[in-house]
Chain A
């Protein structure tokens, strides 16, 4: 975007700025370029998202928990006890930390139960609250089965429910961001859920790699590589499709720096785990830590990019002006043709 947040000086003429190039007057009228600030003194149009660090941290932790649940089920079905224990621990641990993060971000934490006052499919946060509220007990039962050796049948039922809910827990947060007026989030709606899915696959397998001996960790090694590929691929597609709106990911600002670090760490982690898988003697600690850091930073980068995008009036005005002009041109053509 050209306009960014600098103040428009008085008398600055309209040109190819936030609104895109505009040649000629409206409806073919006389062309007098009006001297107009294309924003209101460079001020943002949207209000800045008020969420603090707990929210991207929750995206990361909830992502790990959600993808660990189906991993625990698969490991348990295959009789891989060590892996089933590790993945159950990650699922139940993440399910325990997540509400703490979410509640501490609330303006009125004592009212957290109001989240379950209604169920609204139009609110991804409402849907997510219900997913998280049912996921916790489900993976809790699964963990009781795997870690404590009690409740074999109820534990299995919990594992199944957790495996069904977990992928939703890992990805609904992308729908939550996409359903906002923030351009860098809303316009990424086709890719964000896949970024979150890949990132969750990579980070949950990294957690399992750290908690399991290599002999039992063949599944998370393969999962880590799949997750890294999906995450990097979806991120690249997202940034390309965002075009000008993806500028925060490329710029030198906080989001861009973090985004680059996230990609480097995810790629490195995926490669290290893939290479070490051939040897399979020692835990790929470095690779797993790189994947975890890459996944956490990816969520942070997306969060920061959204904030930067909300603060840039051109990111809001530019695409809307282009859309409106195109519609008005089409209507004018239709009128003239009729």
Chain B
């Protein structure tokens, strides 16, 4: 596999157009075909079924063995002004996935170079290199990548790297019956998403919003982004995620200062008490 390790931050200079997902949750019907298609194509092992008794969600979260996760938000909410909140049942569904961040913390902190940026601008783990150090797990601001216990390595969505290389659509997008999951060139997807959210707001979905579509956000925009019908945290998504590596120059400066303080402490202790 050939790749350039210096491409830690995607700058659009690769030969291919950047490819991505636009997940329009207003079209999601919660069928979970994406979860199944992903599992089958990528040979993702069975994950523990969770029955929380809160919703139709028995997948729970994204993790090493769940690369697509359909969230179900079921709640009573007022349907008209003056309602006491028991008026109607709102049901939101959303298929979550790795965001393939422009500034990807998992990739930046990976000490082995196992995580890399593909020619499609996606972020992929090379399983033959990963040694299971686990640094990418707390680095991800979305709780996507995780270590597979029985295997010891880190796993996550590859945006079907193998299918992309063969000009195929990723399995989840291919299986989605409502085109809630749309795959394509990121620029086109963003343009389409802008039009779609405007249309929904016009129709009265006042809280409809795009999530991770802005290249100026804390992760430089997602290669996978979303149209949500409410605030991100409702779907279990962080409302203003950042790639903490942006703060790393400052962290290194503080660390150097602390290391200098340590050295000074030894020198002071060593020479302060000497007879002059």
Contacts and interface: CB of A to CB of B under 8 A. Distances in A.
Interface in B211-237: 230-231, 233-237
Interface in A143-192: 163, 167-168, 170-172, 174-176, 178-182, 185-186, 189-190
B145 interface: yes
B269 A226 contact: yes
B255 A317 contact: no
B129 A75 contact: no
Nearest to B268: A226
A118 B113 contact: yes
B111 A46 contact: no
B130 A108 contact: yes
Interface in B40-63: 52, 54-55, 60-61, 63
A194 interface: yes
A50 B146 contact: yes
B202 interface: no
Given A50-B137, A114-B129, A223-B266, A122 B248 contact: yes
A45 B109 contact: no
Interface stretch (B15-23, B67-75, B169-177, B189-197): B67-75
Interface stretch (B27-35, B159-167, B178-186, B239-247): B239-247
B105 A181 contact: yes
Interface string A209-227: 0000000001110110011
Given A46-B140, A230-B261, A320 B240 contact: yes
Interface stretch (A6-14, A242-250, A253-261, A262-270): A6-14
How many interface residues does chain B have, given as a range? 35 or more
A305 to B, nearest CB: 13
B265 A223 contact: yes
Contacts of B105: 179-181
Contacts of B252: 121, 175
Contacts of B75: 10-11, 35-37
Contact of B230 (A34, A45, A176, A200): A34
Contact of B259 (A122, A178, A193): A193
B266 A71 contact: yes
Interface in B244-271: 244-245, 247-248, 250-252, 254-255, 257-263, 265-271
A53 interface: no
A110 to B, nearest CB: 8
B11 interface: no
7 contacts: A34-B77, A39-B236, A74-B271, A107-B131, A112-B131, A124-B248, A174-B258
Interface of A: 7, 10-11, 13, 18-19, 26, 29-30, 32, 34-41, 43-51, 66-67, 70-71, 74-75, 78, 105-109, 111-112, 114-115, 117-118, 120-126, 129, 163, 167-168, 170-172, 174-176, 178-182, 185-186, 189-190, 193-194, 196-197, 200-201, 205, 218-220, 222-223, 226-227, 230, 306, 310, 313, 316-317, 320-321, 323-324, 327
Interface of B: 5, 8, 52, 54-55, 60-61, 63, 71, 73-78, 81, 85-86, 105, 108-114, 129-135, 137-148, 151-154, 206-207, 230-231, 233-242, 244-245, 247-248, 250-252, 254-255, 257-263, 265-274
